[in-house]
Amino acid sequence: MNAHRLVWLFVFGMVASLALIALGIFVGSTGFENLMSPLINPEIDADAALMAQKILWEIRLPRTMGAWAAGVLLGVSGALAQGLFRNPLADPYLLGSASGASLGVALALAVFGGGISLLNDGLAVGVFSSNIWVRLGLTGAAFMGAVFAVLMTLILSGGVANTLRLLLCGVVVGVVLGACTNLLMLMSPDSLQAMQSFMLGSTAFVGWNALAVMLVVCCICCLAAWFFSRVLDGLSLGEATAFTLGLPIAPTRAALIGVLALATGTAVSQTGLIAFVGLVSPHLVRAWVKTTHAYLVLLSSLVGGVLLLSADILARCLIAPQELPVGVLTAVLGGGYLLWLISRRSVRSGEST
């Protein structure tokens, strides 16, 4: 029965991902009919056909697939964080990595004249353009910021031995680096508009370059998470049990924290701060099937991609032709889901007593 549920959830994740990608291509301020009519009959208007092709292949498709890839990264990060810290409320931003990534991007935008044009490079260029170095630069800045935040957390907590102290130090580091980001935004007015979109979370600036970066990092992080899944299974039984089994706990924790920082930094650098996707995805998987971390990481990545892409499509439709920031929408929906889950468990515990 459990194996059947595992297969069905994987099939659902793949089918839902493909269906949402196909749907996302045609959702936006320009309606479906306006896009398809010149593509079906290009003789109607050559300029309209050319514009429709650009909208579909240079804006909609990379943005839609980019939203899915960012959700995959956040889903993997959430599963790793919850397994690493043995805490169902752990999320990818717990060690201050999101605040560090934000600070890194803010520094990059401030140093290089960070107007909105830097983030817009992905909208009109191909994957082989030299502007991919801009995306790699932003990703590198976010990654370095995330690693810096995690290292600060580890230094303040005295290592990874005390999980509670590690989490508390992560909260403190996140608050301090968030304040530094806000101060930097005030000192660099040119980057204020770009950082505002970044802080609210948006997939509108994802192009082919950003998609290529995220897909490569997705492969690296998923493979690394799969490789270390056996140690995560051992940690779920307790550190003492994992130690008696001869599992390399200390080096595995260090490696997983690096993978967590890479996945979070990449997603944050391309789409901004998007809340609750990494936290909710593993919960949804566990609610459907009980499995080991090897499959939990894979399924959480698929569910994360489906969640973020669904939220992105919904954000385009609710107040069309304008768009809601997808980070705001995921915060509202994800927060509502967690509140409902907490209230449901509280009612069940009350009934049992």
122 token code pair: 């992905």
CA separation for the pair 107, 111 (Å, rounded) = 6
Maximum C-alpha span of the chain: 73
- What's the pLDDT at 260? 86
Residue type, 213: V
DSSP string, 35-60: HHHHHH-TTS-HHHHHHHHHIIIIII
N- to C-terminal Cα distance for the chain? 31
- The tens-digit pLDDT sequence of the chain (353 residues) is 577 888 888 899 999 999 999 888 887 655 554 555 555 555 556 666 677 677 778 888 899 999 999 999 999 999 998 888 877 777 888 888 888 888 888 888 777 765 444 444 433 333 333 355 565 676 678 778 887 888 888 888 876 666 678 778 888 898 899 888 888 888 877 767 667 777 788 888 788 888 888 999 999 999 998 888 888 887 777 766 666 766 777 777 878 888 888 888 888 878 888 888 988 899 889 888 888 888 899 999 999 999 999 999 998 888 777 788 888 888 888 878 778 777 776 656 555 55
Those residues with Cβ within 8 angstroms of residue 257's Cβ, 6 or more apart along the chain or in another chain: 84, 95, 150, 154, 160
CATH of domain 2-344: 1.10.3470.10
* SS3 call for 114: coil
Please name the helix (run of DSSP H) or strand (run of DSSP E) that holds residue 248, with its range, or none: none
For residues 190 and 111, give the distance between their C-alpha atoms in angstroms, rounded to a whole number.
11
Write the DSSP symbol of residue 30: S
Q: Among candidates 323, 115, 275, 298, which has minimal Cα distance to 218?
A: 298
Per the document, the length of the chain is: 353
